Amino acid sequence: MKTVLKSHNCGELSAKNIGEEVTLSGWVACVRDLGGIIFLELRDRSGFFQLVADPQINPDIHAVFSKLKTESVINIKGKVSKRPDETYNPKLATGEVEVYPTYAQVLSEAETLPFVLDDENVSEDVRLKYRYLDLRREFMLHNLTLRHKVVTAMREYLNGQDFLEVETPILNKTTPEGARDYLVPSRVQEGKFYALPQSPQIFKQLLMVGGIERYYQIAKCFRDEDLRADRQPEFTQVDLEMSFVNQDNVISMVEGLVQAAFKAAGVEVQLPLKRITWQEAMDRFGSDKPDTRFGLELFNVTDIMEASTFQAFKDVIAAGGTVRAIKIPGIAGYSRKDMDDVRNLAISFGAKGLAWITYMETGEVKSPVLKFLNEEQIKEIQTRAGAQNGDIVFFVADKPKVVFDVLGRFRLYFGKKLNMINPDDHALLWVVDFPMFEWSDEEGRYMAMHHPFTSPNLDDMDKLKSGDLGNVKSIAYDIVYNGTELGGGSVRIHSPEVQKEVFKALGLDDATVQEKFGFLVNAFRYGTPPHAGLAIGLDRLIALLCRTDSIRDVIAFPKNSGAKCLMSDAPGEATLQQLRELHLKSTVKK
């Protein structure tokens, strides 16, 4: 649309506009004075455009341009002309044309910027403090543009599938994801607090009770957790829920959604996606979000070690542990120091120790544990590993959780180190059949692996009732992309009896359930459709599609790792008056 200050965008002008009168506005990207003639690069969101001021031809304009500071905002008028041969650049979108303005106005003069926009090495703190300037950089504009395109594609897909976009409240009660809540004190209800939603989980289920049948929302969620590189205190989910569906229905709906999202980013996804069970993912990759772009799969040697004379491993197995192994090819030449580093790495990942067998290039087999194994056992390990001369097989023995975690991280470490990962591959898959509960050492009890509204596998109801919680599977599923969890969801419980059993297993008594989730449980008494859903972490999806490691690079105004906004200085202090109104007292000493 034409406006008074813009007839065209900078980046859209080309040879076909030659002779046209145009009005352009934008930022002064750079000014070059070449022997009296000034070349000015004007930038707006669409791209760059060359303006020329020649003191012989347009002295007034030349006078304005010669005083201009970069990043000032200007408005010009003039006729598009063909560039002379010397500056003709057919490779650039606008490289065939230029304008000798006949009118120029400075709309806003810029002070010297705190950093040069194309400086690659500017620190992230500075970028975040001046985020509005950082957003002018091409790469940030690219990321936000891609985010917009992907979100638009996802909305269009879901709208086309009959979903309704519904907003759910931000000020509410605690939700069941299990992270720490952000609390907002109520002024009118003395001593009461709202909790910001960790997700719209309860509300989307209530929307199903309300007959909406297909819901989605690009939802802001809040979790007060210690922030890792890929976490933000507030983040965005593409959240959806469907009625009258089973797991397969949700999976194929979401596959279409993910395909549309990737397509908007220029990546073709072939459907259907592979599915593997949680157990298989752990056994083969040591992770419930496996990066399947490369091999280095784990294998089980518990039976062999149990029959060996290696007491340390036998003790672990007797205590219910497991022994798993991984073969790393071509590193048999590692020095003693290299091996110390590898052992320390395993220990930093949580292992108590590391054992290995080295298959030397010479054919010799060396290992500190060889003496505990007989010929046959040694052979069997080599067969299971598929080990060749030059390879090393590593073993870790511990509780399954520790073993998988250590070897899973080992696998990723060597996958990267040995350049086994092709960054152009796109490995999308589903992990299904998650356990319903997970033991928490910290809490000394079983916790819901997904959340307490996730349906157990109904075949496992006996185990649930008898308290064999470690073996109850759930109808939960995660979608994984290149080793990162993109999203997860589940079929929900809609029977009050099953819900009661699950709350019981989680140690939630009736009073706590009523206090926390009473409104959901009560709603289920009035006709509840079977329902299921899922949420995709939008920031992470966009970061992966933009190929950046940091979700901060795809959020316009993110917080730093201290949950602080370096630009606005949030969180700020409250005045005594505000605290009083909120019925709060500060214990912070000034």
Residue 240 and residue 200 in contact, taking contact as beta carbons nearer than 8 Å: no
| 29 belongs to the binding site for ligand ASP (CB under 6 A) | no
Residue 560 and residue 503 in contact, taking contact as beta carbons nearer than 8 Å: no
| 13 belongs to the binding site for ligand ASP (CB under 6 A) | no
| 236 belongs to the binding site for ligand ASP (CB under 6 A) | no
Q: What angle do CA 358, 364, 368 make, to 5 degrees?
A: 45
Which stretch, 96-104, 248-256, 485-493, 577-585, contacts ligand ASP (CB under 6 A)?
Answer: 485-493
Encoded tokens for 555: 């959020």
| 490 belongs to the binding site for ligand ASP (CB under 6 A) | yes
Question: How far is Cα 198 from Cα 181, in angstroms, rounded to an integer?
Answer: 7
| 219 belongs to the binding site for ligand ASP (CB under 6 A) | no
518 in helix, strand or coil? helix
Out of 101, 286, 483, 488, name the contact with ligand ASP by CB under 6 A: 488
Closest to ligand ASP by CB, 233 or 533: 533
Closest to ligand ASP by CB, 101 or 487: 487
Residue given tokens 């750079």 in the structure block? 30
| 233 belongs to the binding site for ligand ASP (CB under 6 A) | no
- Strands 476-481 and 445-448 come out as unpaired
| 50 belongs to the binding site for ligand ASP (CB under 6 A) | no
- Enumerate residues 326-345 that contact ligand ASP by CB under 6 A: none
Closest to ligand ASP by CB, 40 or 449: 449
Least distance from ligand ASP to the Cβ atom of residue 177, Å = 5
Least distance from ligand ASP to the Cβ atom of residue 47, Å = 39
Encoded tokens for 61: 């304009």
Residue 278 and residue 285 in contact, taking contact as beta carbons nearer than 8 Å: no
Out of 201, 236, 247, 322, name the contact with ligand ASP by CB under 6 A: 201
Least distance from ligand ASP to the Cβ atom of residue 346, Å = 31
Encoded tokens for 246: 């089973």
Residue given tokens 């979100």 in the structure block? 151
Which stretch, 22-30, 46-54, 315-323, 528-536, contacts ligand ASP (CB under 6 A)?
Answer: 528-536
Closest to ligand ASP by CB, 215 or 285: 215
Least distance from ligand ASP to the Cβ atom of residue 454, Å = 7
Out of 533, 538, 543, 559, name the contact with ligand ASP by CB under 6 A: 533
Question: How far is Cα 523 from Cα 478, in angstroms, rounded to an integer?
Answer: 27
- Enumerate residues 120-149 that contact ligand ASP by CB under 6 A: none
Least distance from ligand ASP to the Cβ atom of residue 424, Å = 29
Residue given tokens 């009461």 in the structure block? 192
- Enumerate residues 159-188 that contact ligand ASP by CB under 6 A: 177
Nearest-CA neighbor of 407 among 290, 312, 313, 303? 290
Nearest-CA neighbor of 42 among 75, 20, 2? 75
Question: How far is Cα 52 from Cα 538, in angstroms, rounded to an integer?
Answer: 43
- Strands 214-222 and 164-165 come out as parallel
Question: How far is Cα 62 from Cα 57, in angstroms, rounded to an integer?
Answer: 9
Least distance from ligand ASP to the Cβ atom of residue 357, Å = 41
Least distance from ligand ASP to the Cβ atom of residue 77, Å = 52
Least distance from ligand ASP to the Cβ atom of residue 201, Å = 4
Which stretch, 437-445, 514-522, 527-535, 570-578, contacts ligand ASP (CB under 6 A)?
Answer: 527-535
Closest to ligand ASP by CB, 27 or 477: 477
Least distance from ligand ASP to the Cβ atom of residue 378, Å = 46
Contacts of 142 (CB under 8 A, 6+ apart): 546
Closest to ligand ASP by CB, 456 or 533: 533
Least distance from ligand ASP to the Cβ atom of residue 227, Å = 17
For residue 395, what are the CA distances in angstroms to 119, 156, 325, 374? Answer: 46, 49, 4, 17
Q: What would the x/- binding string for ligand ASP be over residues 418 to 457, using CB under 6 A?
A: ----------------------------------------
Encoded tokens for 537: 């972490």
Each residue of 179-202: b (16+ CB within 10 Å) or e? eebbeebeeeeeeebbbbbbbbbb
Least distance from ligand ASP to the Cβ atom of residue 163, Å = 14
Which stretch, 158-166, 242-250, 399-407, 483-491, contacts ligand ASP (CB under 6 A)?
Answer: 483-491
Closest to ligand ASP by CB, 10 or 219: 219
What DSSP line would sit under 241-291, residue for residue?
EEES--HHHHHHHHHHHHHHHHHHTT----SSPEEEEHHHHHHHHSSSS--
Number of residue whose CB is nearest ligand ASP: 199
| 535 belongs to the binding site for ligand ASP (CB under 6 A) | yes
Residue 138 and residue 95 in contact, taking contact as beta carbons nearer than 8 Å: no
Question: How far is Cα 68 from Cα 106, in angstroms, rounded to an integer?
Answer: 8
Residue 285 and residue 415 in contact, taking contact as beta carbons nearer than 8 Å: no
Out of 94, 199, 322, 455, name the contact with ligand ASP by CB under 6 A: 199
Out of 153, 489, 491, 559, name the contact with ligand ASP by CB under 6 A: 489
Peptide bond into 272 cis (omega under 30): yes
- Strands 531-537 and 484-491 come out as antiparallel
Least distance from ligand ASP to the Cβ atom of residue 120, Å = 35
Peptide bond into 571 cis (omega under 30): yes
| 534 belongs to the binding site for ligand ASP (CB under 6 A) | yes
Least distance from ligand ASP to the Cβ atom of residue 374, Å = 49
Phi then psi for residue 82, to 5 deg, are -75, 140
**Under rule CB under 6 A, how many of the chain's residues touch ligand ASP?**
9
CA atoms within 13 A on the CB side of 77: 7
Q: Which residues bind ligand ASP (CB under 6 A)?
A: 177, 199, 201, 488-490, 533-535
